[in-house]
Amino acid sequence: MKLLDRRAFLKTSTLVVAGVALSARSWGEVVGANGDVRVAVVGLNGRGKNHLSSLAKLKGVRIAALCDVDSVVLAKTAAAHPGAKTYSDVRELLASPEIDAITIATPNHWHSLMGIWACQAGKDVYVEKPVSHNVWEGRQLVAAAKKYNRVIQAGTQIRSGEGLREAVAWIQSGALGKITASRGFCYKRRDSIGKTSGPQPVPPTINYDLWSGPAPLVPPHRNNPKNGPVHYDWHWIWLYGNGDVGNQGIHQMDVARWFLGEPGLPRHTMSVGGRLGYVDDGQTPNTQVVVHDYATAPLIFEVRGLPARSGLNISTAGLGGAEAAGAAASTMDKYRGVSIGNVVDCEGGSLVTGSYFTANAYDRAGKLVKEFKGEDRHMANFIEVVRNRKTAELYGPIDEGHVSSALCHLGNISHKIGRIAAPGELQEKIKANASLAEAYGRMVEHLAANNVDLTKTPVTFGAPLAVDSAAERFTGENSASANALLTRDYRKPFIVPQLA
């Protein structure tokens, strides 16, 4: 399949760059086994830092370019990488003949479009999770990889750990019997982001038109003293983020589905939850249970952003990354020892993850029967496949990343079209779903420990949704309103093209 020619790319991305001469290598030639892979990192304020540190450890990789819409962030990062060219507009970067691949660590609403543009420009792509902001655009990104013959690695790095890969094969072999439930947990402290009185001014260092991209160009309505009116807290705003289901939960739902061996979407999905314990500018749930009904076994995912109980708001200001994570974890609930991770229940025992890359298997009596250990090889794997073009060797292939990202979107769609329900009414409605009822019962206890009165601030009973997995659409009751949320209205010229 031919790559989009350079003139068409510049035209469709509405960019005119004088004097750009694109080499054959930039537009699709396989990177030579002995040549440096020239990589650009886009989005430098969060996960982009991790991309840079991972790339710096790999031989035969050159960080050739940096891109960010915040000039302060860009300048600070460039100072540490003096050989890299700098860009504020990703379209100019993609038009460069001196880039072989890009890594994308922008806000979620940019992931799919930027990945598609990169494919059209002949670049290989590493894209952070979730790979999409909605279900439809994720499918278009999958189609772009095939149409333009590009390598796309989804940032689901847990899949690269040798120990977890071994654990999946071991569980699927039936070593502990049939899986009865595959659980994921994100018990991760999330403070209030504060409450503003109206639209906030954008710092002059940020190109807000480019930052907004495919989303509507509206002023920010948040201003956390730590993160300001634009950065990071977009996670909790529907126009740009997907809540902790899409921020952290994508990892745990991906692992849960991986163990189940389910290749597509579930038969049914439902969410129960809300933004509880404080009133702020955030829109996404900080407390949520999502249940995906699969033929193999239910996939159950839980979000908790409040501490184990009221009064445990330990500050992590001034602490290092590991220290901060440890302090935050000590304030959170755990499910069988897990605050962020997975528990896979089987007829003959269970498997519990201890970190991203380790897990322990136990029999029904709680005796340890097997340990699994590994490490993160995700970025190294991406570079290896960029060189050898054997996409079957990718640990995080884009089609898998798309399906797991879609699980996040399905749960959020159920929540968005749901309705407020009193505790008694909600309990009555979900009692037939044993998995949801059990998780909801523990959630109620957790909220009570945080002095949340559900009669005054009730949770949202998400719409029960039936899913046509093959078509990636909803059917039956609630399908009209749910299907309308499978995509979004895109702002010109930042329009995701229909490729599938």
DSSP string, 32-68: PTTSPEEEEEE--SSHHHHHHHHHHTSTTEEEEEEE-
Q: What is the pLDDT of residue 9?
A: 55
pLDDT for 10? 58
- Ramachandran bin of 208, using left for φ above 0, alpha for ψ from -120 to 50, beta for the remaining angles: alpha
Under DSSP, the state recorded for 229 is T
In this predicted structure, what is the pLDDT of residue 20? 34
* pLDDT for res 77: 98
Is 55 exposed, middle or buried (CB count within 10 Å of its CB: 0-12, 13-18, 19+)? buried
What is the model's pLDDT at position 313?
Answer: 59
What is the predicted pLDDT for the residue at 323?
A: 52
Q: Which residues of 81-98 are buried (b: 16+ CB within 10 A; e: fewer)?
A: beebbbbbbbbbbbbbbe
For 387-432, what is each residue's pLDDT tens digit? 999 999 999 999 999 999 999 999 999 999 999 999 999 999 999 9
What pLDDT is recorded for position 442? 97
Of residues 267, 285, 311, the one with CA closest to residue 412:
285
- In this structure, the chain runs to a length of 500
Check if the beta carbon of residue 292 is closer than 8 Å to that of residue 175. Answer: no
pLDDT of residue 13: 58
Q: Which amino acid makes up residue 454?
A: L
Q: What is the pLDDT of residue 6?
A: 52
Positions in the chain short of pLDDT 70: 1-34, 312-330
Nearest-5° Cα angle at 66, 399 to 150: 25
